Amino acid sequence: MLTRLGPPLAMALLAGPILLGLAGTMLPAFGYLPALGGAEFTLAPTRQLFAEPGIWMSSIISLASGLVTTAVALIVVILFVAGWSGTRIFARVQHLISPLLSVPHAAAAFGLAFLIAPSGMIARLISPGLTGWQRPPDLLIVNDPMGFSMMAGLIVKEIPFLLLITLAALPQVDATRTRALTTSLGYGKIAGFLFGSWPLVYRQIRLAVFAVIAFATSVVDVAAILGPTAPAPLAVRLTQWMQDPDLSMRFFASAGAVLQLAVTAAALLIWIGFERLGAAIRDRACGAGWRWRRDAWLRRIGLTAMLLAAAIIFAGLATLCLWSFAGLWPFPDVLPETLSAKTWMKTAPRIGEPLVTTFIVAGIATLLAVLLSTLCLMRENETGRTGRRWALLFIYLPLIVPQVAFLFGLQLLFVLTGTIASLPALVFVHLIFVMPYVFLSLSDPWRAYDRRYEAIAAGLGKRRWTTLLGVRLPMLMRAVLTAAAVGFAVSVGLYLPTVLIGAGRLDTITTDAVALASGGNRRVIGVYAFLQMLLPALGFLVATLLPALIFRHRRAMHA
């Protein structure tokens, strides 16, 4: 049966390229790469790496930003969920935040940069009234050496992600009744949540938290846009070395990728230490009967931080959009003097090709991921086994191993096989990252489906595929399309895999947008970043409107 192939195919897809890629990174890191004349193992690349100025600083920035951003984002999410779940504000904020998940990291980072730069929107709003600035001040805010603006950019994007996966876990731990129980025992909202629900919730979202840490320690696009430059975070420097036309730099870059692997592993280990510490403090407070009823101020901080994160992204995107249509816009005016479509007209001819590539790659990768996820979930129904923790680890693997660490090796394989910069190679690499998100978003509704409908269809004499196509998939259409929209958004936003495997010959909107970062033409960046956020939004629009239209006369399908 076809479904039998699902799980092994998915595992091969998720683990295979990562193992091959890691091998392809490790070997040159220790000097072995016959194609480039490296015939024996040597520590020379490692020595050369550690002689590189600022390499430790780069590593520390990467490590710190991974830990700090994840901790801040997670604390905001905990305070918000603990303090407000079950309230009307909570439901509203949830609806406000959900769409932010689909905004590509690069677009959000550009948005933040356009807000906080010395000539950015915030400075314009308070100048010259509060500041007296008639010209943009000479301050290094974006690209600050400590990486604060990079961390801010990561935090505002991590908050929606962590919030949504926490929300998905809440119903499974019966958080509503637990809250009623802890409240009746006299616990404040935050204490009640931390003692009653959080340990169970955290167990479910732990791998996702690890994925956030791994991403933040090794991110390239956000770091290139907002991060420090002297020295830049580790992954940014590695990517520059990797793209150096001098091929002997590969040994050196690969050694760096191994260092990145170590940095991310160290961040995860330190985080596990944090987990232990946090659990110990919680257990002590819990054991002491600490009720903490007067937590209103902390709850308000949680809400404020959540709203601030959303406001930053929305304001950033609005500013991007404004810049793309701006004519003359001198500082410190809050609005441009004229609006025009000139930038759009001028950029249009250049946009066509990357736009088509983006659509084709995202479309095919998403389609394949939906098919493969469906096969895996069908197989799960047949065997009655979900594979639980092991399966979940496989699914999270591409999100927890830092991208640079295995993409370097994978790129090498594509170079050696002559498939680099080909469309199939690019689709394949995108599929590795799209698959986990599609599977995770499809599996909950798939498992919640009432299987008695299938029993009925079988009793009516319908074959399995007829039942799948005629009953199950139509009933799950909204869930399938939403999962597809998530996958599409992930593919549109992928930067590093596209840069490395597209090798500069296959560009997408995202790679082109990030490449513009150093140039600093705000109007053109505005066009690209606006398109970057528009494409995922279109996907979600289709996922919402299409089922609503098809089933407009079927009331039960709107629930």
Give min distance, CB of 558 to other proteins, in A.
9
Give min distance, CB of 448 to other proteins, in A.
15
Q: Does 555 contact other proteins by CB under 8 A?
A: yes
CB of 401 or CB of 468, closer to other proteins: 468
Amino acid symbol at 540: F
Three-state DSSP at 326 gives strand
CB of 389 or CB of 555, closer to other proteins: 555
CB of 342 or CB of 451, closer to other proteins: 451
Helices assigned H by DSSP within 460-521? 464-467, 473-475, 477-493, 496-502, 509-515
CB of 56 or CB of 453, closer to other proteins: 453
Give min distance, CB of 480 to other proteins, in A.
13
Give min distance, CB of 479 to other proteins, in A.
13
Give the one residue of 384, 418, 424, 519 binding other proteins; rule: CB under 8 A.
Answer: 384
CB of 122 or CB of 471, closer to other proteins: 471
What residues between 244 and 273 interact with other proteins by CB under 8 A?
A: none
Nearest Cα to Cα of residue 414 among 433, 428, 402, 400: 428
Are 93 and 310 within 8 A, CB to CB? Answer: yes
The interface region with other proteins, picked from 11-19, 74-82, 383-391, 432-440 by CB under 8 A, is 383-391
Q: Does 388 contact other proteins by CB under 8 A?
A: no
Are 336 and 329 within 8 A, CB to CB? Answer: yes
Give min distance, CB of 371 to other proteins, in A.
21
CB atoms < 10 A from the CB of 422, how many? 17
Are 227 and 147 within 8 A, CB to CB? Answer: yes
CB atoms < 10 A from the CB of 88, how many? 8
Give min distance, CB of 547 to other proteins, in A.
9
Q: Does 553 contact other proteins by CB under 8 A?
A: yes
The interface region with other proteins, picked from 66-74, 245-253, 432-440, 549-557 by CB under 8 A, is 549-557
Query: Which H or E run contains 355?
Result: helix 342-383
Structure tokens at 439: 């599977």
Q: Does 386 contact other proteins by CB under 8 A?
A: no
Q: What DSSP state is assigned to residue 420? A: T
Q: Is the dihedral of CA 216, 222, 224, 229 positive or negative?
A: negative
CB of 475 or CB of 537, closer to other proteins: 475
Q: Does 554 contact other proteins by CB under 8 A?
A: yes
What residues between 43 and 82 interact with other proteins by CB under 8 A?
A: none
Structure tokens at 317: 């995107």
CB of 253 or CB of 442, closer to other proteins: 442
HSE (side-chain half, CA atoms, 13 Å) at 12 = 7
CB of 476 or CB of 527, closer to other proteins: 476
Nearest Cα to Cα of residue 155 among 262, 305, 337, 304: 305
Three-state DSSP at 419 gives coil
Q: What is the DSSP string of 237-260?
A: HHHHHHT-S-TTHHHHHHHHHHHH
What residues between 451 and 480 interact with other proteins by CB under 8 A?
A: 451-464, 467, 470-471, 474-475, 477
CB of 40 or CB of 450, closer to other proteins: 450
- Name the CA dihedral angle for 115, 116, 121, 125, rounded to a multiple of 10 degrees: 140
Structure tokens at 532: 């970057």
CB of 52 or CB of 454, closer to other proteins: 454
Q: Does 4 contact other proteins by CB under 8 A?
A: no
Are 150 and 233 within 8 A, CB to CB? Answer: yes
What residues between 290 and 349 interact with other proteins by CB under 8 A?
A: none
Give min distance, CB of 466 to other proteins, in A.
8
Give min distance, CB of 556 to other proteins, in A.
4
Give min distance, CB of 455 to other proteins, in A.
5
Q: Does 383 contact other proteins by CB under 8 A?
A: yes
In angstroms and rounded to an integer, the radius of gyration of the C-alpha atoms of the chain is 24
Instruction: Give the Å distances, CA to CA, from 205 to 164, 209, 462.
Output: 10, 6, 39
The residue count of the chain comes to 559
Q: Which residue has the tokens 């939403």?
A: 482
CB of 180 or CB of 458, closer to other proteins: 458
CB atoms < 10 A from the CB of 338, how many? 11
Question: Which residues have CB under 8 Å from 188's CB, separation 6+?
Answer: 291, 292, 293, 294, 295
What residues between 421 and 450 interact with other proteins by CB under 8 A?
A: 450
Give min distance, CB of 389 to other proteins, in A.
19
Give min distance, CB of 439 to other proteins, in A.
22
Rounded distance between C-alpha atoms, residue 243 and residue 249, angstroms: 9
Rounded distance between C-alpha atoms, residue 236 and residue 211, angstroms: 19
The interface region with other proteins, picked from 44-52, 194-202, 326-334, 377-385 by CB under 8 A, is 377-385
Beta-bridged to residue 326, according to DSSP, are: 339
Give min distance, CB of 396 to other proteins, in A.
26
Nearest Cα to Cα of residue 487 among 531, 412, 533, 432: 432
CB of 179 or CB of 472, closer to other proteins: 472
CB of 50 or CB of 453, closer to other proteins: 453
CB of 288 or CB of 556, closer to other proteins: 556
Interface with other proteins (CB under 8 A), residue total: 30
Give min distance, CB of 550 to other proteins, in A.
8
Give min distance, CB of 440 to other proteins, in A.
24
Chain residues binding other proteins by CB under 8 A are 383-385, 450-464, 467, 470-471, 474-475, 477, 551, 553-557
